[in-house]
Amino acid sequence: MALGTHELDIRPEIVAALAAGRPVVALESTLIAHGLPYPQNVETARAAEVAVRSAGAVPATVAVLEGRPTVGLTDEEIERLARAKDVHKASRRDLAAAVALGRTAATTVAATIAIAEIAGIRVFATGGIGGAHREEWDISADLYELARTPLAVVCAGAKSILDIPRTLEILETLGVPVVGYGCDTFAGFYLRTTGERVSVRVDDPAAAARLLAVHWGLGGGGVVIAQPVDAEVAVDPDEFAAALTKAEAKARSAGIRGPAVTPFLLAQLAELTNGRSLRANHALIVANARLAAEIAGVLSAL
């Protein structure tokens, strides 16, 4: 029996907005518990919510709290997630265990997509999606969840630590459109571009919303809408490549594998770039939240 909306804790503001046809934007919680250090994590989460509201939409940060999938965290709940040391990391595979065992878990892109879709939310903002890792057979569940769920993910591309050509090839195989927002090449998370071509370009929220409506009308699943990080905070490509090589070597020597790889590499990159990757991460998450709200606003009016 499928998990129903009655088994989610969808907060009253979100319920009212969805019932009234107002735009709502889902936000993930892994960046709070595992992606960024304190206090940058809570500052970024709050700034993303402010950006969504400033663009006329309602933010809905998602997590599992003591076994209850929750849509629309309070400020106090975000603070607790940001400070806690024992929060589980839940991808799509881990949601049932988190719920059945009464765990508190931060949701990845894949898990947030799954919960948002049940709640009736169609637009989601994050920093970067997961994908195919460069040095091991590790394919993120984000890609497969995108393939089967009709939801738009606004991001700054896939995380820069990944094998981008292979990630894009998998998305193509799964039928997921990769849309460049104001650009012809795929955004590179900390970097302005990966140099890889996107499948289509749009230049304003209205065009993005129209594409989503048609894609879903044709029975399509998820859509990636990728906009580049602002040039003022983007990390220099040569500096990033050197830092990533060092970070990957540390991960190998420490025996880091599986779900622990991404947070380990991101933490190492923050140190090796003297915090420049953290500043880029904050800026791109807030920018994506704002764009997602603008697209959701047009989508709700169609």
Which member of 89, 159, 248, 294 is catalytic? Answer: 159
28, 77, 79, 248: the catalytic one is: 28
Residue 58's nearest CA partner among 299, 225, 301, 296 is 296
H/E segment holding residue 290: helix 276-301
Amino acid at 12: P
The single-letter code of the amino acid at 108 is T
Is the distance from CB of 258 to CB of 140 less than 8 angstroms?
Answer: no
Residues 41, 35: Cα–Cα separation, whole Å:
7
Calculate the alpha carbon distances from 90 to 112, 215, 245, 277 in Å. 9, 28, 28, 24
196 is catalytic: no
Q: In whole angstroms, give the CA distance from residue 229 to residue 274.
A: 18
Does the active-site annotation cover 159?
Answer: yes
Q: Going by C-beta distance under 8 Å and a sequence separation of 6 or more, which residues neighbour residue 267?
A: 37
Q: Residue with structure tokens 């955004």?
A: 187
Cα torsion angle, 237, 239, 244, 249, sign: positive
Residue with tokens 């997602």: 292
* CA pair distance 193, 185, nearest whole angstrom: 6
| Both structure tokens of 222 | 């998820």
| Structure tokens, 32 | 């709070």
Q: Which two tokens stand for residue 31?
A: 């960046």
Distance CA 74, CA 61 (A): 9
Residues tagged active-site: 28, 159
